[in-house]
Structure 1
Amino acid sequence: MTRPFILGLTGSIGMGKSAVAQMLRDLDVPVFDADAAVHRLQSAGSPLLDRIEAAFPGSTGPDGVRRQELGAHVFGDRDALARLEAIMHPAVGAERAAFLADHADAALVVFDIPLLYEKGHGEGLDAVAVVSAPLAMQRDRVLARPGMTEARFAQILALQVPDAEKRARATYVIDTGVALAETAAAVAALVAMLRARAR
């Protein structure tokens, strides 16, 4: 039995990746959301909470992970972040494998992975689509977010692989610096092409 064509979807902050992921869902493409999986695995009742609490005391409560407290433990501390990732990544990987098994009969599935290049999560992908827009547009989108500042935006950008490098490494680039309908048409064309190739 052939498996689905697996497309990785990524893009820097404010590039419109969430909008593109929704366009894909609207075209009945199964999309695995790595961020959503992390949120589920850090919520109340998750079997990972005891391990997270043991590694980072005070970082969990009755509702699951206390994001601010956990962030304070790992922000700017590579060793602490590596300890957290050692807990989270295998669990997210297991969820992704289960998702793939659930959609084994689909021609195309998408893995939405925000830090695909930053964390080296490209294994097992058949292609990668990078969502991109001009820097000025990205900046306007990000600074419109509640609580965002120029300094915080600069900090986030410094931690991400530059957009130009992502575009250079991508199999496909999805432009969100154009009208929404134009982006949607490009996404639909890409899906049609990949589904045809998979069959």
Structure 2
Amino acid sequence: MSPFCLGLTGSIGTGKSTTAQMFRDAGVSVWDADATVRALYAKGGAAVEPLRQLFPAVITADEVDRSTLKSLIASDETVLAQLEAIVHPLTQSSRNVFLRANADADLVVLDIPLLFETGADLDCDAVLVVTVAPEVQRARVLARGTMTEDQLDMILARQMPDAEKRIRADFILRCDTLEDTRAGVQNLIKRLTT
């Protein structure tokens, strides 16, 4: 019997990473798409050489320079599709390894920011979308100090709108407070494992 596979997604700044950690803290195995991509881009990562062939300028010290890659994506609309053609099959392979390794679990979580955009929702038994009010989302992201408003707008433009994600979700979790988020995670684990 395979585990119940819960897809976890939400737009940037809505509490997805915090929610994923709460599942981990409760003993649920979580596959993290962002961590997988970071490993693919790191020295020795499987995406480094294919990207070096296509975009040599994005490789520095035998790893992908993410800021250079972001600039290239912003300046050339054809780059993203080429990047995805390399990275998506590699992430799918990593996800398959994770699922095989956790075949005996009752529940696993696939933490994928672009779950709907990449069609990965079709591999899940259900989807949980985390959400907050747009002004809370924007304030959270900009408070990190890692991007400008223009960069945030570019990311949001590439992501499916929060309202559409919520329509497509099986479960919705408001992440306004840590207490609400934790309670929602605990309730969902009970619901999906009993």
Report the TM-score when normalising by structure 2. 0.94
Mapping of residues 43-192 of structure 1, within 5 Å: 43-75=42-74, 77-177=76-176, 179-192=177-190
Q: CA deviation at 1:23?
A: 0.5
Please list the CA deviations of residues 1-46 of structure 1 after superposition, one character each: whole Å capped at 9, or x if unmatched. Answer: x100100000001101110001000110000000100110111012
Q: CA deviation at 1:156?
A: 2.2
Distance 1:56 1:90, change over 3 A: same
Please list the CA deviations of residues 60-95 of structure 1 after superposition, one character each: whole Å capped at 9, or x if unmatched. Answer: 122511112222222253422111111111111111
Distance 1:149 1:70, change over 3 A: closer
Query: Secondary structure at 2:57's aligned position in 1?
Result: coil
Query: Secondary structure at 1:93's aligned position in 2?
Result: helix
Query: Secondary structure at 2:122's aligned position in 1?
Result: coil
Mapping of residues 14-33 of structure 1, within 5 Å: 14-33=13-32
Identical-pair percentage = 47
**Equivalences, count:** 194
Preserved contact between residue 46 and residue 90 of structure 2 (Cα < 8 Å):
no
Query: Secondary structure at 1:73's aligned position in 2?
Result: helix
Query: Secondary structure at 1:148's aligned position in 2?
Result: coil
1-structure distance, mates of 2:146, 2:178: 26
Mapping of residues 4-23 of structure 1, within 5 Å: 4-23=3-22
2-structure distance, mates of 1:92, 1:147: 25
2-structure distance, mates of 1:80, 1:45: 22
Query: Secondary structure at 2:121's aligned position in 1?
Result: coil
Distance 1:44 1:140, change over 3 A: same
* Of 91-100 and 70-79, the range deviating more from structure 2: 70-79
* Of 116-125 and 74-83, the range deviating more from structure 2: 74-83
State the AA in 2 paired with 1:61.
T
Q: CA deviation at 1:108?
A: 0.4
Preserved contact between residue 3 and residue 105 of structure 2 (Cα < 8 Å):
yes
Preserved contact between residue 44 and residue 63 of structure 2 (Cα < 8 Å):
yes
State the AA in 1 paired with 2:187.
A
Unmatched tracts of structure 2, length 5 or more:
none
Q: CA deviation at 1:51?
A: 1.1
Instruction: Could you list the structure 1 runs, at least 4 aligned residues long, displaced by more than 6 angstroms after superposition.
Output: none
Distance 1:80 1:149, change over 3 A: closer
State the AA in 1 paired with 2:76.
D
Which structure features the higher share of helix residues? Answer: 2
